[in-house]
Structure 1
Amino acid sequence: MDGKEKTSWSEGLSFGLQSGMAVIPYALLTAYRKLDLTGSETMLLIHLLSFRQVEGKDFPSLEELQAVTGRSASVIAGELQKLIKEGFLNIEAGSDDGKGLHYERYDFSGLYDKLGSYLFSQRSSAAPKAGSPSFQSDTRSSGAEKGGKMPSGIVPAEEDRPSLFVVFEKEFGRPLSPMECETISGWLDQDRYPEELILLALKESVFAGKVYFRYIDRILLEWSRNRVKNAQDVKAYSQRFRGGS
């Protein structure tokens, strides 16, 4: 390496170090497969940790995550939903009374709990190489208890979930926030609204010129109270409503 190359290398190293460094749990890199995480989900967690530590962003937008991962917003939203559902992440909401600001942030305590449980099981196991099947069950069942927002159960088909996110992003004309993605997931997983019904509620909000989540949620709640479950029920309910008015 000549003097010019050494100088360029040193300047590049200096710039990189000044840009900031993120501390990543080594156990996450070595044990993510044991936690039933994919490589892309693990990388997403690393990016979330990096945003917090280096840039001071506790709740990066889907656009920001899309820029660093190179993947579509709908795919990222699906992965965030899975991480929340299975208890690796939770979303905390709060407000700064002094500034009158509302904020949201990711809570990583579920991830750390799972890593801690896995490391403890490995340490106490008489045969570490045999694996820990009971822990795999824990990682699937503890998501609702830790996250507090998603019920336990089977995640709906991955190929169905992104399509719903994409439709919402198209109608809203922008990427969805993680909280908005969680709202959609809650409609599907907690409230058990059929995807068809959610899309119809979105359509109603577009026609009414009120394209925002609170209005869509009110529509779904009203339909649920009146036992509206599909497109035919929506049509019949609308006719009764208009006839009554």
Structure 2
Amino acid sequence: MYKKMFLSWIEEGVVSIPSFLFSYYKKIGLTDLECMTLLHIYSFIENGNDFPTHDEIAERMTLNVEQCSQLIGSLVQRNYLEIIKGKSDNGIYFEKYSLRPLWMRLIDEHILNEKGEIQAQQKDEEGNVFTMFEQEFARPLSPIEIETITMWLDNDQHEPALIKAALKEAVMSGKLNFRYIDRILFEWKKNGIKTVEQAQEQGKKFRMHQQQKRKIDEPVKRNDSVPFYNWLEN
């Protein structure tokens, strides 16, 4: 679905072809000369000539006609360029170049590059979780504690931001221990909470409920602390 959408953007001119091609041509195995040749073919097609001769292409470049012919043959053979043959409504046979194989290679490389960036960002976020725990506990984590956090990330699939939110909840509640944090994450998962915003909203509702309850049970002193939920007693 994403590849089809991106392909339509390319063919409709939404994506800047030269910029897109320059970003990835080396990664998909093209040389500088091959990239320039494809750009010339693209330029011909954009100007209404979808099957320029080797002479026309070579005239724009430092290649002679034979070199141009060999280079284009190589691009077709290696599936960067396609020659489409057909028959018009008037019964006339025709040939034209198609750059769709090139677009598909560029799209695949773009998707791969984005996935790599996302994975790198996720690794950074996960690393920050361990750092944040060590800062709050004011000591290096034990092997068991490291394993526990790893299980939250890998087995339970908790987002790093949500684990940080659970740690913050434990700090605010004055119950800084792994058992308490694990219980928070368990309750959040059980209640379908997947984002920090949802967790904060639940905490806000609970505290409002607790404050209203205390107003009914006894007068509230001005310096009373804000109540926190004891997840272990739930």
Q: What's the TM-score once normalised by structure 2's chain length?
A: 0.42
Q: What's the TM-score once normalised by structure 1's chain length?
A: 0.40
Larger radius of gyration: 2
